[in-house]
């Protein structure tokens, strides 16, 4: 049974974003996915719109799909992003611009467009990272993008609260997506030899639960944050990390 609610998920075609898409479909939402590649998943309540999150105009087109098809948007999720480890002396203008424009500017444009369309009770969810809470070596560009995303979250919660719009972030730790595995293969990453082994070892030594979270667990938290059950929660950047960074 469709619940007539509408969620936009950037990067909802694979990895964590696909986990989010599936969780909202399970919760009977209409899901609009914005990415550069079509999702393989086929579902009657899933609509795809080509989107490059770096472009404000693309967020407008993406939102318009929701407005034209369903008349409204209830939740906008800024998930699209990537990580790449590089030491400071290897960071050039092109690298920095690409990572900040995708991870941070993309969330700005998504939030800006959503703020004009969401009604009272609507919400914005930013997929940040534990990297938005603490720094790590060879990771300054990505970490800065995610600290920025948490700052955006806190500020917009204050700014949009009077309109009844809530803004939250979730901060996952390592989740073995294609994107993460690729990034971990870099010689500057902490695990270039064997990413899967690194994640296993990290789970044993850093996680209270001796494991890492799943895409599904991120998706379920997003469904909760979008729901009326979370009506008093705004401005929070919530770790989903199996107890890696208790706060
Ligand atoms: P993936 O590489 O598996 O997926 C990245 C997603 O972002 C894809 O759907 C991709 O779609 C989309 N994307 C990337 N660039 C753009 C762009 N310019 N325009 C539109 N879509 C874009 O990564 P993850 O699933 O691992 O990461 C998803 C989010 O979660 C990111 O923001 C990441 O920083 C965050 N995160 C990931 C963690 C992890 O351990 N995996 C931990 C903490 C946070 P397409 O290429 O088709 O455009």
pLDDT at residue 111 is higher than 70: yes
- Out of 12, 16, 215, mutate this one to test ligand 1's pocket (max ligand atoms within 8 Å of CB): namely 16
pLDDT of residue 1: 67
Reply yes or no on whether 29 is catalytic.
no
Query: What tokens appear for 128 in the block?
Result: 């940040």
- Out of 12, 13, 15, 148, mutate this one to test ligand 1's pocket (max ligand atoms within 8 Å of CB): namely 15
Band (pLDDT 50/70/90 cuts) for residue 159 is very high
- Rounded to an integer, the average pLDDT of 90-96 is 98
Q: H or E stretch including 47?
A: strand 46-50
Strand partners of residue 6: 30
Helices (H), 86-237: 93-100, 106-117, 140-160, 178-184, 195-206, 215-226
pLDDT digits (tens, 9 = 90+) for 9-67: 999 999 999 999 999 999 999 999 999 999 999 999 999 999 999 999 999 999 999 99
* Residue (of 14, 65, 5) closest to 180 by Cα position: 14
pLDDT at residue 191 is higher than 90: no
- Rounded to an integer, the average pLDDT of 186-202 is 92
pLDDT of residue 193: 81
Judge residue 81's burial from the number of C-beta atoms within 10 Å of its C-beta, 0-12 exposed, 13-18 middle, 19 or more buried: buried
Query: What tokens appear for 130 in the block?
Result: 């534990």
Band (pLDDT 50/70/90 cuts) for residue 3 is confident
Mean model confidence pLDDT for the chain: 97
Band (pLDDT 50/70/90 cuts) for residue 2 is confident
* Residue (of 231, 107, 223, 112) closest to 161 by Cα position: 231
Cβ atoms of residues 15 and 215 within 8 Å:
yes
* Among protein residues, the one whose CA lies closest to atom 18 of ligand 1: 52
Pocket lining for ligand 1, CB < 6 angstroms: 10-11, 13-17, 35-37, 51-54, 79-83, 102-103, 127, 129, 172, 174-175, 177-180
* Among protein residues, the one whose CA lies closest to atom 8 of ligand 1: 11
Say how many Å lie between the CA of residue 162 and the centre of ligand 1.
31
């Amino acid at each position: 049974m469709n619940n007539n609610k509408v969620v936009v998920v950037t990067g909802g075609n694979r990895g964590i974003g696909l986990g989010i898409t599936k969780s909202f479909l399970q919760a009977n939402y209409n899901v609009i996915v914005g990415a550069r590649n079509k999702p393989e998943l086929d579902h009657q309540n899933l609509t795809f719109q080509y989107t490059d999150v770096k472009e404000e105009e693309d967020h407008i087109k993406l939102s318009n799909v929701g407005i034209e098809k369903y008349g409204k948007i209830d939740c906008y999720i800024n998930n699209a992003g990537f990580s790449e480890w590089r030491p400071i002396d290897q960071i050039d203008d092109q690298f920095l611009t690409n990572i900040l424009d995708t991870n941070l500017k993309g969330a700005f444009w998504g939030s800006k467009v959503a703020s004009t369309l969401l009604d009272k009770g609507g919400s914005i969810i930013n997929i940040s990272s534990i990297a938005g809470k603490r720094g790590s070596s060879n990771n300054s560009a990505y970490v800065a993008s995610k600290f920025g995303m948490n700052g955006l979250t806190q500020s917009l919660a204050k700014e949009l609260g009077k309109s009844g719009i809530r803004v939250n972030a979730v901060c996952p730790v390592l989740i073995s997506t294609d994107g993460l595995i690729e990034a971990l293969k870099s010689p500057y990453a902490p695990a270039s030899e064997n990413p899967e082994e690194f994640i296993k070892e990290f789970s044993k030594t850093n996680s209270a639960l001796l494991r890492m979270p799943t895409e599904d667990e991120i998706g379920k938290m997003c469904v909760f944050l979008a729901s009326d059950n979370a009506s008093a929660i705004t401005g929070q950047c919530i770790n989903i990390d199996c107890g890696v960074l208790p706060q």
